Amino acid sequence: MKLINGGVCAAKGYKANGIHCGIRKNRTKNDLSLIVSEKRATAAAVYTTNLVKGAPLAVTKKHISDGYASAVICNSGNANTCNANGAEIAEKMSSLIADKLGICASDVVVASTGVIGQPLDITPIANGIPALVEGLSTEGGAAAAEGIMTTDTVRKEIAVEFEIGGKTCRLGGIAKGSGMIHPNMATMLVFITSDVAISAEMLQKALSSDVTSTFNMLSVDGDTSTNDMVVVLANGMAENPEIVSEGEDFSTFMKALNTITVQLSREIVGDGEGATKLLECTVSGAKDLATARTVAKSVVCSSLLKAAMFGADANWGRVLCAIGYSGADVDVSRVDVSFKSNAGEILVCKDGAGVDFSEELAKQILLEKEIDIIISVGNGEGTATAWGCDLTYDYVKINGDYRT
């Protein structure tokens, strides 16, 4: 497994682009992105569980119900959610780009992100499509990554190279996500491309399995979005023997996919709205996987713990508190807690009680940009990792006037 450049254009047969078409007022920011596969690809997706869903999700779900897609179009600046004509606009976006590319509209994944409840004018999108298509390039992944950003401060992209059946294969992805991040699949936009030959059924199995330990294990603010999704395309152009069942080749693909999703998960929470620190909580010793996940997610979701991390305050009681209300079946008298970063590691709680530790060293550890919260809850085999970020003054500032 080797990290490479290229993002969503790293795999064979993909081109991308991103432009400013006029949805967003700031002309320096791209607001329309396109990813195209040279060959019709198998497709899989997971979607937000919020009952309020953006129209693009329903349209995309219908379009890829046959397990195939050829292109992804996405706008930022407007979520196209809770609009009377939302589905009509999403379908129009699909048909406009399909006509320009010479493909079927039903082979287009359509996505939108931004403000909820404001009408989306199709005019700037329609006017921008010629330039969007004309600028498609194997070097266009970065521009596409920028076009899906909202309050993100950095673009998020990664790609890996690996081997299946003696063939060199690649998998790459881009993501957006900074606020409204508390997935029960999924609270962000993630587009992943691959040249692996894999059936639609196995691709969906891989994605659905992976998100339970990656995108569903991160939280910025506890709010689950209305719009967002994770989509994977695989066009088979690596010419490996098609993956149609579990086995060594499927396991290799799963490892590559997980490499992408873990890194994008970390980048999303690391760029949380107003965040200054990335938190990684690892739980071990739980009686089972579900218990470990419950504990880890509860800790990174705690507003009090997140605020303490912002202030570099080793207030380990907030970790215990989050474990206690998580609903997980744990023996609190067996809980150990440590904080770790590039500045060192310090034990702050042993068997559910405080221990003597250096507040000065703890402060230095918690002043780092990346902090590990290490928790043991017994001697079981359940382990899990969750990711979050600190809670800062700027989160309130950003969201106090997000719409206006």
Among residues 150, 187, 224, 392, the one annotated as catalytic is 187
| Bridge partner list, 373 | 281, 339
Residue owning tokens 């890996």: 160
187 given a catalytic annotation: yes
252: left (phi over 0), alpha (psi -120 to 50) or beta: alpha
Phi, psi of 223 (to 5 degrees): -105, 125
Query: Do the beta carbons of residue 117 and residue 83 sit within 8 Å?
Result: yes
Q: Which amino acid is at 190?
A: V
Residue owning tokens 């992943």: 192
Catalytic site positions: 187
